[in-house]
Amino acid sequence: MVTLDDVARGLAADIDPDDAEPEYLALYTAEAPPLDGIFAVLHERLNGHFRFMNTKMTMGRHFNAGDSRDLMDLIQQISDMRKSLKRAGVTFEVREDYRKLIEECKSFLVYSGGSPIPDSVERIEIERYEAVMFTSAPAPQRRSDAPPILTLVGEGSFALVHKYDDALYNETFAVKRAKANISERDLARFRAEFDLLRAIRFPYIVEAYDYDSNRNSFTMEYCDETLGEYIRKGNSTISWSTRKRVTLQFLYALNYLHVRGTLHRDISRNNILIKKYDMGAVLVKLSDFGLHKHRDSDFTRTETEMNGSIIDPLLESFKDFKHTNDIYAAGVIVSFIFTGKTRLGVADGAVGDIVNSATSLVESERFASISDMISAVEVLEAPAATSPEARV
């Protein structure tokens, strides 16, 4: 059987990880050597070609023959690496925007004579500050081919969510399956949700493992309950400091999405999940990305797709959804976490100031970004009336 070490040695023989520039290597600390250096080198080389292509778009839109061949070889190298890693049981993904760029380049690059850049190819946004290549854990494998016993745990407009216990891993997993009667457009959204989850790696966003095209379903991380259930059950006992940690974990997840150009557009108490651990420790997992929208996406949203989402009263048309609308929803969630109340206007003190700023009906008075909101929450201190026990 081919091991990851075998594959890594082979890749390092073709792509020297020591060639990685520090600024790119720093983006891949989540990957083990030598993959961190290999990914950094490939990322830098892609950016070099994309920068040159941007230049050529202003000079006749002709991509030089030598550069065309080099970029084609680089794309093939990335494809071969994906296949090699798959043999070792490791899934390799390229971030959605770069994956689309690569596919677009494959459609017009030629080996000789140079490549005319189609008018449909717009100026490329170069990514220098975030990773664009990732590995993720292989999909959970059961002991046998016998289907697992599924238990229904949730239902939305377009999908059902079941859970099953895996004896091999001694762990519970979730299976999200598209409903049989949904439209092709909604099925495309369902698949786009999986593609997004596979393309990102962040501790406060739910992880997806593999997609079953035959059943239109995907296996994903299982969480114990929704934020709504967690707060409702424990509102009288959850400490102030725990509420602050939960708030920050949620905001970190949303900020990560915004930084990478993705709007969630469906924030609710039911779409924020909680994983429970020993001694009361919890981990927030943002989920349900079926209505997410990347800045380059054509997907829009209609009034029929609300289903419990927090709606910004300033939002007149869903096709005009922007980051400040997510910020409004985040403000409602922050209020709920700290007060246990679903209505606004009950949070007071410094928490109330944050909520009021996020949900202001004057858009210019809202936080400019989720990052600014995080900064405000990070400096919060427990009210003086809070007992010492509640501070732990």
Instruction: Specify the range with the lowest mean pLDDT, choosing from 6-10, 77-81, 346-350, 361-365.
Output: 6-10
- The model's pLDDT over 267-323, given as tens digits with 9 standing for 90+, comes to 889 899 999 988 788 999 998 876 644 444 444 444 434 445 788 887 776 667 788
The number of beta carbons lying within 10 Å of the beta carbon of residue 341 is 13
- Give me the percent of the chain exceeding a pLDDT of 90: 48
CATH number, span 151-221: 3.30.200.20
CATH number assigned to the domain with residue range 226-379, chosen from the 4 options 1.10.510.10, 3.40.50.300, 3.30.70.270, 1.10.10.10: 1.10.510.10
176 a known binding residue? yes
Coil, strand or helix: which one is 339?
Answer: helix
Distances (CA, A) of 131 to 85, 201, 388: 18, 10, 42
Confidence (pTM):
0.61
- The model's pLDDT over 360-371, given as tens digits with 9 standing for 90+, comes to 999 999 999 999
Angle (CA) 228 233 236, round 5°? 115
218 CB contacts (<8 Å, ≥6 apart)? 175, 176, 194, 208, 209, 210, 211, 212
Contact call for residues 179 and 160 (beta carbons, < 8 A) = yes
Largest CA distance in the chain: 75
Domain ranges of the chain: 4-136, 151-221, 226-379
